[in-house]
Every structure is written in structure tokens, then in C-alpha cells.
Structure 1
């Protein structure tokens, strides 16, 4: 049998643990250096946002792609920047330079803050920040920029530190290895070898001559082991003497045991007869239990078949419920898209009017410029003609500016409301101005009437919520009042009152002075597909969508109150900050 050295095994385990710990610590230090360098580079990438975002934003806003490319090339010249991606507000790539993370995989939504891109399999990482352009008091995202660096840049920065760490670990490991080898040989291997040789000469017949003679003076574990072995030899000698005496006593006990065995055999015969009778009784009871078990098995089979039938019915009901929910979701989306389509058509018609006026004024101004140029060339230009031209030019310029501003205001109001209605993205809104923008976007549907809208809302209320939900709620409520409440009524009034409550809640009261509804209609007001204008093409989903947006999307409550001829009133309570599920 192959011998295994305890000292060698112990030394190998100690050194293995030390090597592993040294390796882990070294790798940990390298990782710390790596991530510190990476964090520093990411900080430098974020610093570049403040330096270049303004010029890039201006270039993209002015559609100057060549200037954007030139700025991107300048950024790429920075050593830590190994790649750059510039995209417009639609996610279309303007330029891609250097090493790349696939731009098709970059899909980020943010406000004014950027976002770090995690390191991928190719060792690339980066930082993406939006390009925000402020115009007419509004902040608009015109695109985004992704600055890309790589692990090669990090390694080049920490290369010298890595060599120092590895050399330090190698020197310490070599020194400790030599120290352990010498100490184990002097303090463990040599004493154990001496003791082993003496133990191998053990003779059971001469126990006192088999004791160990330990030559070392140290009072250590080996000395304790030697003393214990010698004590064992002494005790073994004593036990041998006692064993001889015990053998004599055992012979006498065996003789008495034979006599007891005869008595036990007679007793066993009597017990066996009694046991046979008991076995017959158990056999009868076993047959009765088997009969009961068969009856119970039949009953279980009947119940199992009934359970399978119930499970099949339940699955059919669940499938029908899923199909019903899917159909309902499609109808809700169709209703939202129809509402957005009407909004687009109305805005397009209203924008055409000021744009047409601006085009007409611009054409007239061009004709007057040509006339002035001709008179100047023919030297027939008089002060009277010049004064007339200046007056007409001033009026035309004023007409163009005012109508273009009107068109811009319409487009800006429509743009954010339309985007919100097709998105569930959470963002911060100033509530009063946002509701005003919603009403502006609905003006094409309201301009044929003289309805008035009054908003009572503190200026400081800011909500962080899915803005599309707020837009859809007030759009549905206003159009419900216009179509149903103000039917055959030229001058309707709508009051929107908003106040803050404790616990971060808002109370919204929407009230019109329309014709109201009966108690029967009020009880079914939020039911899906319930409408009083089925013959006019109503879908019955407007108030149902509003109810779901308040309850599920915003986590609030909504109640309706009405009487015939007394108008319709909605009370809504929602949190200021919507909880993200």
C-alpha cells in the first residue's frame, strides 16, 4: 500500500489555500483597478457631453449633417473615444465612426439625463446622452449621441499597475514557499519519521520494550502523542492480565447459559402455539380490509373522472376569457387610434389656414421687391414709392410672422399631445399648462361651437406619470361633453378644478352644464360597449377607457354624478407620482 506523508499533504493544503487566496486577492485588485479606470473613463465621457452637446444639438437642429460629422470626427480623435454614433430624433443614424455597438440595439428613452451602456462581449462600453434643443420655452429632443470606449483603453491605463501587482504576488509566494518547506521538514517530517520507525518495531509479546524513546525536548503535539502511546502500552499490559482472569469467568458463565437455554426452548414452544391463533385472526381482518379498499378505489375512480370533466370545462372557460380580453384590447386600441386620427385631421386643417396666409403674404412681398428693383434699375424710384414699399413690407412681414407663430403653436401643442396618446412613457408634466395644451389640440373639433373651458389649478403642480393617460382621460371627457352633454346646445360650459390632497394625492373635478344622464344610464356609464348613440356610430368605449386608465394605469379612483338636466360631474383621485409596476 502506497504511503502518504502527512507533512507533505498538510504542506500542499496550506500552500494551495495560500495560492488560491493570493490569486483571488490579486485578481480582485486587478478587477478594482480595471473598474476604477472604467468608471474614470465613463466620467470623462460624461464630461464630453457638456463640451460638445451644444454644438451637436445646433448642427442637427439646423439639419447641418456635415457639421455634425466634423464634430464627431473631432470627438473620435480623443484617445479614450474609440467609436461614436450620432442619431436624430427618429433614431436614424447620422454618422457612425470607429468601433461600434450595433445602433439597431440602442433604444433609450430619457429626459435630460444620459445613460451608460454596459460592456458587451466585444469589450465595448459607452455613454449615451440626449441632444436637447430649447425653442420658444420648450425643450425638444433632436437626437442622441453615443460615445464608445473599450476594455483596451482601460488595460492601457492600468498596464504598469498590473505588472507591479503580479510581481509582488510572485515574490511573496516564492518566499513563503521556501519558509514553509524548511519549517515543515524540521518541525514535523523528521520527528514523525523517527516515531514511525520505533512504532514499526512493536512486539505484542514484549510490550515494555516497544515504548517510544522521543529524543526532542520540545513540549509539542508530537511529544504529547509519544507520551500517550507509551501510556497506552502500560495500560495494554494491565489489560492483558485482566483478560486472563476474565476468560476463566467466561467459561463458568457459559455453563450456566446452557442450562438457561433449555428452559427458554420450552417457553418458546408455548408462545408459538398462541401466535398461530393470533395469525388466523389477522388473516380474517386482512380480507375485510381488502374488500373495503376495493370499494374505496371504485369511488376514487368515479371522483377522478368527475374532476377531469371539471378541469376540461375550466380550460374552455379560460380560453374563452382570453379571447374576450384580446378582442376587448383590440377594440380599445382602435378607439384610441380613431381619436388620434380625428385630432390629426383637425390640426392639419387649422395649420393650413395660417400657412396659406403666410405664403400669400410672402408672394406679395416678392412682387413688391421685384417692382422696387425694376424702378431702382430704371432710376424712377421716388421717396414716395420707397415709403409705400417699406409700409407694405412691414405689414407683410408682420402678417407672415404672426401666422407662422400661430401655426408653430398649434403644431407644438399637437405634437406632445399626439405623442403622449400613443405612448405609455412616464415623464414629468406641469399639469395646468398640459391640460391647456390638450384643449388647444381639440380646438378643430370645438371651433364650430361657443363652448367655454375654465381651469382652476395651482401653477406649481407637477406630475410624474404616463402623460398619454392624462391626455386620453381629458380628451375622452371633453369629447363626451361636446358630443353627448352639449347636443343641440351652442354655449356649453366646462369647469376643471384640481387641488392637492394629503398623502401625495390629487383631486380632479370635471363638471359640465350639459343635459346630464338618468340614474339607469349613470349605473352603466363605465361599462364597456354601453352607449346611448349606437345608431350614430358610438362605440361605448370612451368612458370605459377613462375608467381603466384611472384605475389601472394611474392607480386612482373615479366616480360620476348626474341628474337629467343638471349636467355630468366626474370626481377623480390619483397620486402625484405614478407607481411603476
Structure 2
């Protein structure tokens, strides 16, 4: 197996960190030197601006183009200046020498910062930077801008100035790194590699027959981890010598123990012979006991046979009970359906009776309208038609038509509400319903029963709440609760009030139904949802109304329902069921 040197591995990691740190610091120094030199060149450009601005301004003002060109040629000869552009006040170029920033770069790659008297230019894409300043001519206390001068330098100038410094930084980093590598190699070899090799050689020469002579000798005079390892190894040798002494003593004790063991074996053989005799006697007793156990097992088998016959009888009885329970469940379903149809029949009778009034009025209005039309026709035939008779006919006809329309609309609303409720109650299909509008239809269908009382129903429901569910089940729940309140809750109460609160939260509809009737006692409340429990059995009550409500809320709507009756505050039902689009 290839051996990895600890000192080499440690040296590699230390020098890797040092190399990365050296490269980073050198790079930062070069960048700092670059920006510092660039700042000095910008300062020199500003100084040069102050020097030439006067002569260039006069040359441009006097339209002395040749002088301006001469000054520009003198400036471009300076190594620091890589480009110069002189233009007049209309931005027409008078002279342009050296490097020029292209228009595309000026629009997209140039960083320009404006001060009061010059513009700083920095073109990253072309490696150019500099200043652009106006030429201002003063005459009779007035100042006039006569043109613009742009002085450009480049990154090549910067690099030429800092080239020596860069070589010095890199050389310095290389020399320091090489010296550090040599220093670390020397230190690791002296302090780690050589002591470890010496320690390894001494360990290889260990003589197990003479451990005392195999102790390690002191390798250096410093107290470090290698001295700790040396001490630990020498302690192990001492423990090995002690173990050999103890092993010799143990062998002598073993010989003595073997002699004692022979004596014990003789005593043990005598004891075994005695125990064997006792065991024979016990075996005879066990045979007698085994015979008794066989007799008991026979009795147990007879008892199991008798119990098996009893179990078969119980299984047959259980089947009969299951059949009876199934029949009872079917009977209960039939009773529930009958209760639903009974409430629908009562509702139908009430609506039919209520429709008689608007239909009768409509028939009377139609008959009267027919009579006045016949009278008008007679007047026309006998040529007795007058303005007054026509006005009378029109007034009477308008009143009859208005009365006819109002009563027919009233009958149509009753029929439509009853039709929707009836269809929903006999149909288990799921559909999208507007809860507020649907509750209005249910209450409208109960109007014939409510108008005979002074009770009121208040519904608190937002107009935009919609639910995808069983409308028939919801209608049956609301109708049963309202009828229960009228029959039971508002008994001996003239002006009862029912409040229905609707809220929609997290795809669940929360419905709270509350009346201010007589309420229920704790015992009655506990039995409220039990089938066939009623307080009006003598008046024909079936006790299935609230049981149907419970089954519809739990099974059909996949929801929950609870009831409570605060003292002197009537009865409160709290229900919630999901929107079946999301369940």
C-alpha cells in the first residue's frame, strides 16, 4: 500500500493557502496601482487643460485654425496624450488627432460624469479615458463659449507606467514563496520527518522476548507530541512486562487448581449417582401424573366439542340478527324517504292553496277585461263611441291588465320557487348554486306557511358566495329546521325570529341557524338527533326531522353539525360542509 507522507501533505495544504493569499494580495495591489496611476494621469490632464485653455480659446475665437492645429500637434506629441479633438461652438471639428471614441461607444460604453467646467470620459470598450472641457472667452465682463476640447489618454499609458512596479510585485511574491517553501521543507524534515523515521526504526527492532530492552530512547530534548508518543510506547512495554509476570503466576495457580478440580470431580460423581436414584423415583411419579393429565385432556376435548356446538348456534343467531338489522335499515331508509316526501307534500299543499288566490284574481280580472272589451265592441257597432267611453275603457283595461300581471307574476314566482325546491329535493345531483339566491327560493316556497304567522326570517349572506354541492340536501335541511322552529320552537310565541348566517372560508361553507324559541333542556338536546325522538308524538310527530338533518349534513354533504341551546336564547345549529369542487 502506498504511504502518504504527513509532512508533505501538511506542507501542500499550508503552501496552497499561502499561494492563494499571495495571488489575491498581489492582484489587489496591481489593481490599486492601476487606479492610482489613472488618477494621477487625470490630474495631469486637468493641469494641462488650465495651461492650454487660454491659447486655444483665443485661436478659436479669432478663427485662427492653423494656430489651433499647431497647439494640438504639440499636445499630441506628449506621450500621455493619445488623442485630441478641438471643435467650435457649433460642434464642427476644427482638428482631430490621435485616438477617437466612436459614436457607438459614446452611446453605450462610455461613462461620462459632468462637473461645472469639464466632463470626465471613460470608454471601457476602447480603453480610453480623459476630459472634455469648454473654451470660454471673456470680453468686456461677458463670457462666451467658443468651442470644446477633448483630451484622451489610454490604458496603455497606465500599464507603461506601472509595468516596472508589476514586475517588482510579482518577483517579490515569487521570491517570498520560494523562500517559504524552502523554509517549510527544512522545518518539517527536521522536526517531523526525521524523528518519525527514527521512531519507526526503533519500533521495528522490538524483541518480544526482552521487552525491557525494546524501550525507545530519547530522540530530542524538546517536550512535544513525539515525546508523548515515546512515553506511551514505553508505558506499554512496562505493562507487557507486568503481564508476563502475572501470566507466570497464573500458570502456577492453574496447576494447583487442577489438583483441587480432580477432588471435586470425585465428589461430583458420587453426587450424580445419588441424584440418579432420586430421578428414577421421580420418573415413576411423573408417569402417574401423565396418566391423570390424559384423563383431563379427554375431558377438555369433550368441553371443546360442547362449546363448538354453542358457537355454531351463536353464528346462526348472529346471521339472523344481521338480517333483521338489514331489514330495519331498509325500513329506516323508507321512513326517511317518506318523511322527505311528506314535507314536500305539505309544502305542495301550502303552495297550491297560496296559488289559488292570485289565480282567482287573475280569472276575475280577465273576465272583467273581456266584458269591457265586449262593451267597447258593442259601442263601435252601434256608433255610440265617444272620447269619454274610450278613456273609461283605457283606464279600466290598464287597471285590469296591471292587476292581472301582478297576480300572474306572483303565481309564477311561487310555482318557480316550489319547482326548484321540489326538483332539488327529489334529485341528488350535484350542481353549482348561488347560496343567497338559493335560500331566497327556499324561503319563498315556505311563504304560504309563514304568512299565517308573525314570524320573521333574516338571512345574512354575501351575494357572491357560490357552492358546488347537493342543493336538495341543503334545501331539506333548511326546510326541516324552519318547520321545526315554527311547530316546536315558537309554540306559544307570537313573534318568533329566525337568523341564518352564511360565511365561506377555505372552500368550506359555514352555516349558523338560530331561533329565539323556547329552546331545549340538556336531556332533550342530548337526544335531539336520535331517530324517532319527538316531543309531539301525540300530535303526529315522527321524530325523524332532525335525524334527517343530521344524516344529510354528515353523510350526503360530508360535513359536520352541532346543536346548542343557551338559556332563554332558543336553539342554535352550527354546520359546515365542503365545496365539492375541491374535495
TM-score normalised by structure 1 residue count: 0.48
Rg (Cα) greater in structure: 2
